[in-house]
Amino acid sequence: MRSVSLLSPAKLNLFLKVLNKRPDGFHNITTVFERIDLCDVIRLKLNTTGAIRIHCAHPHVPCGPRNLVYRAARMLREDFKVKDGVDIYLKKNIPVAAGLGGGSSNAATALKGLNRLWKLDLSLSRLLPYARRLGSDVSFFMYDCRWALGTGRGDSIKKLAISTKLWHVLVVPCLKLYSGEVYGGLGLREGRMKMLTKRSDNATIFIRRLRQADIAQIGYGLTNDLEDVVLRLSPGVGKLQQRLKSLNTQGVMVSGSGPCVFAIVGTWRQAEAVRAVLARRFRRTFVARTL
């Protein structure tokens, strides 16, 4: 095998509760991940120079050591004494720094692809430590699942056997939000617990609603402890949410640390109708479904 091509999907967080700040500076969370069919494409091709080369036309994607894909390749090559290099071609369809996990997904997809390309034959349990070193969301994308419960930093993953598929409209406004700034806006001190959501906002209850496929109840149960900080930092996101709510959607929320705002709708036809309205003002507007 000289090359391999893989899809690299995005994610949404339909439930995200922040518990406390950890000694390592991260936060303990409970989150429900959904994999969606908005995907980047990654092609990995062996080269004999020993070099790791990233090729990407997106102006905001670094092609050197700051890229998580590059770091994933470098870690595996160094630890397993791989002599071959690799050219990695990355076609970006997932908006960058939007709360959709594009960079984390790319890193996980690279780990899986390089495991095949370099014939390392590593199990999932041996690849997961690399995923955790690369970032909190990377572990989720290592699992082949539509739905998962994330705990710890979000890197301890439990696959959820849920058959429900949802239709979404995603809108990514043209603004920059950094996850560190958003989490910092919570004002949590190390080790101290803080109730940020109602006691009824429980992941177990939300997962039950997902299994029942009751779209109205799923929309009602959407939870994101980071949302208030996002709206405080970027009031325009709140106006976008209100616009989405006015278009007969079943639930609207910020994904992760934003700025992507997503809505749940009942059908593809409804999703396309909402997207068409919002696309007149917002260039980055997508229809997506659970993958």
Q: Give yes or no: 21 in active site.
A: no
Structure tokens at 120: 């390392």
Please state whether beta strands 156-160 and 147-151 pair in parallel, antiparallel, or not at all (unpaired).
Answer: antiparallel
Mapped onto helix, strand or coil, the DSSP state of residue 90 is: strand
Residue type, 278: L
Task: Determine which one of 21, 40, 112, 137 is catalytic.
Answer: 137
Element (H, E) at 244: helix 235-245
Spatial CA neighbour of 224 closest among 94, 97, 34: 34
The torsion region of residue 108 among left (phi > 0), alpha (psi -120 to 50) and beta comes to alpha
Spatial CA neighbour of 166 closest among 275, 244, 264: 264
Q: Which residues contact 134 (CB under 8 A, 6 or more apart)?
A: 68, 71, 72, 104, 107, 111
Q: Give yes or no: 239 in active site.
A: no
Q: Which residues contact 275 (CB under 8 A, 6 or more apart)?
A: 169, 285, 286, 287
Query: Can you tell me the distance from the alpha carbon of 208 to that of 221, in angstroms, rounded to the nearest whole number?
Result: 11
> For the chain, what's the residue count?
291
Residues taking part in catalysis? 11, 137
